[in-house]
Amino acid sequence: YACFRTRQWRRKVQYWRRIFLDYYRTLDDTMKAYKVLVKNRGLINQLIIAHALSCVDRFYPDVFAVNGFETLYRQYQGELNKECRIAYRTVLDYILKGDYANADIAPSDINDNPLNPRDKAQIQHDLQNSLNKLMNNTKSIANWLDGKIEREDNRSQIKEITDNIDKIRIARNKHSIMDLLDADTQSNLRNFGKKINEILSGIILKGLRCIETFMGAGSFSEAEQGMENLSRVQRELAAYCTSQDVTDKSRELRDRVNK
């Protein structure tokens, strides 16, 4: 009877040995497939299983002592952590460059990865600082044009303003970026278009009134040059600065200059 029980026990041991070995191979293949397909959520789920089954290794040391469930878990967890660090550094680099289009894509590489709270906080901090600095710089450049916009060639400043507005619009339209920002920064982004439009419209109107003063004083050459400068500025800002007051005043002065 004792021999029978021993043989029965050995058969059970061998049965479960085959079951766990087959499952190990299946798990390894599945994790490889998820890694190739960059399906991190699926890989994380398999890692949970591998970690839970690591206790099996010590019951079958002849099979799992070297390459067991624990080894499988450590291998893929290490690779996942490495990918997460690469994605994290990539996000910070895009933010530093003001490349918010790609900064929006990169967090999707992190979403299913074990990004620690400190790294996430760093991304949020850098993103908010970058966007707030960009908005403030853009308004500063626009305000610098006050009193100069009709007198000087400001193409480089106008180009910088329009480029910055484009970046801000991109960030504002990216949900994954907006979700990382605090309420104040979100509000500033949403209202930035209106704010910069008011600033630019006010500066252009002041320039037009200055041209009107030239005309009243009989300084028609200065008035013509001013209108030429402002007409170019308005063309370059057509998609960024919309004001009926500016349009009406420009038309009025242009008609007077052309008479």
If you write DSSP's letter for every residue of 10-65 in order, what string do you get? HHHHHHHHHHHHHHHHHHHHHHHHHHHTT-HHHHHHHHHHHHHGGGGGGG-HHHHS
Cβ 127 vs Cβ 181: under 8 Å = yes
Band of the pLDDT at 115, cuts 50, 70, 90? low
Mean per-residue pLDDT over the chain, rounded = 87
- Nearest residue to 94 (alpha-carbon basis) of 17, 214, 176, 160: 176
Q: Report pLDDT for 135.
A: 97
User: pLDDT at position 11, please?
Assistant: 82
Share above pLDDT 70 across residues of the chain, in percent, rounded to a whole number: 91
Which residues, at least 6 apart from 253, have a Cβ–Cβ distance to it below 8 Å?
208, 211, 212, 215, 223, 227
Mean pLDDT along residues 144-167: 92
Taking the C-alpha atoms of residue 171 and residue 166, their distance in angstroms, rounded to an integer, is 9
Evaluate if residue 4 carries a pLDDT over 50: no
pLDDT given for residue 160 in this prediction:
96
The tens digit of pLDDT for each residue in 56-91 reads 998 888 888 888 999 999 999 888 888 888 888 888
Mean pLDDT of 18-27: 92
Least confident of 21-35, 72-86, 180-194: 72-86
Neighbours of 124 (CB within 10 A): 15
Rg of the Cα trace of the chain?
32
Per-residue model confidence (pLDDT) at position 2? 44
Given a cut of 90, is residue 186 above it in pLDDT?
yes
CA 14 to CA 43: how far, in whole Å?
Answer: 29
Name the band, by pLDDT with cuts 50, 70 and 90, for residue 12.
confident
Using left for φ > 0, alpha for ψ between -120 and 50, and beta otherwise, residue 39 falls in beta
DSSP state string for 66-87: SSSHHHHHHHHHHHHHHHHHHH
Give the per-residue pLDDT at 131.
Answer: 97
In order of 106, 140, 191, 200, the CA distances from 145 in angstroms are 36, 9, 21, 9
For the chain, what are the domain ranges?
1-115, 116-259
* Residue 24 pLDDT exceeds 60: yes
CA angle 131, 199, 152 (to 5 degrees): 105
The token duo for 196 is 């910069």
> pLDDT, tens digit, for every residue of 230-244?
889 999 999 998 888
pLDDT on residue 113: 55
Q: Residue 39's pLDDT is what?
A: 74
Q: Does pLDDT of 9 surpass 70?
A: no
Q: What is the structure's pLDDT at 105?
A: 60
